[in-house]
Structure 1
Amino acid sequence: EDKVFHAMPKPAPIPRQRYADEKAVLEDSLSDNISIDHLLDSDERLSYRAPSMAPDVPKKLHQGAWSVKGTLDLHGYTSEEARLLLVEFLNEERKAGHRAVRIIHGQGFGSAGRKPVLKEKVPVWLAQRKEVLAFVQAPPYDGGAGAVYVLLAP
């Protein structure tokens, strides 16, 4: 009866949602400051495959072994706009269950100084995404050097 119970101080709340949001932003962020030259296959066209993929995957992707379901055209967008659109596009296509998509980056003829800005950046961005298993330059009838086919993880 003559005892006093002191309430224990409540622990500080853990901002789990903020941590999850920050993690998602980091996963979606793409850097322009990395080199992927060591990741590219050395053949006559641009090609990349994740280390876990078989060596013939880029060739099969180029030949149409997977049906291309979605297309993203980046003509006319700035580098920052294109980066955001690419991340959103890849997320949407994966949610839709599409395995192969086409990304049209152009050849830079409309850029200042006719320098292919997006043509150089898109492969770097793609190689940083864990859901990208492979990509290869599209065949001439489907964009050639101005587009890539991308194979996404299921």
Structure 2
Amino acid sequence: MNKDFDDDFALFREQVKVDRRIRSETHQPERRRSNTFMREAQHFDKRQRAAAKQQHAEFFFSDTFRAHLPEGAVRYCAEGESTHVLKQLRRGDYPPEIMLDLHGMTQAMAKREIAALLHTCQREQLACCSIMSGHGKGILKENLPHWLIQHPAVRAFHQAPKEYGGAAALLVLIQLRGL
């Protein structure tokens, strides 16, 4: 059976034998390579850089660090800043340009959100933000000032006036980049 097949194939080759190769008269463009891989790699790089930024931002928030805060309203002024900014924050002279509500978040989630908020404020040149921790069990409310003190972008913070959340919120003054 193989012999018949080989004979038939040889006969076919002889019948369709071409003296010269047929070339297309039209120009065929170079075959495009798929950019899907490149797009996926770029997307992965962006995610990796964003994760690295987020991880770097979270580095500043240690749960073991405890700063000495004065009695009364929660307030802080970074070294080298005028204490007059605390009075301005207390009076509401700096209205918050962006607000973050931490209600219902775990400590880990709250730290990520605070880091993202501070990064956004610097990127978007927002000088003042409000972070609402609420009253609840008081865990986030107690830890929030200690986390903020650790971040180098925080110039000052003060318990918010009533119109911005009162004792359940902090107004935070941000060090803007390039200024």
With normalisation by structure 2, the TM-score equals 0.65
Q: Are 2:118 and 1:90 equivalent residues in the alignment? A: yes
Structure 1 or 2: more helix by fraction: 2
Which structure 1 residue ranges, 5 or more long, are not aligned?
Answer: 1-17, 109-114
Q: What count of residue pairs does the alignment treat as equivalent?
A: 126
Look up the match of 2:77.
49
Look up the match of 1:125.
147
Structure of larger gyration radius? 2
Look up the match of 1:28.
58
Which structure 2 residue ranges, 5 or more long, are not aligned?
Answer: 1-47
**How high is the sequence identity, in percent, across the aligned residues?**
33
Q: How far apart, CA to CA, are the structure 2 residues paired with 1:65 and 1:143?
A: 15
**Distance of aligned partners of 1:27 and 1:77 in 2 relative to their CA distance in 1, 3 Å threshold:** closer
**For residues 88-128 of structure 1, what are the alpha-carbon distances to aligned partners after superposition, in whole Å with 9 as ceiling and x for unaligned?**
111012111100000001112xxxxxx31100111111000
Look up the match of 1:63.
91
Deviation of the 1:59 alpha carbon:
1.1
Look up the match of 1:8.
none
Q: How far apart, CA to CA, are the structure 1 residues paired with 2:142 and 2:162?
A: 18
SS at match of 1:72: strand
Q: How far apart, CA to CA, are the structure 2 residues paired with 1:116 and 1:65?
A: 27
Q: Which of the residues 98, 101, 105 maps onto 1:73?
A: 101
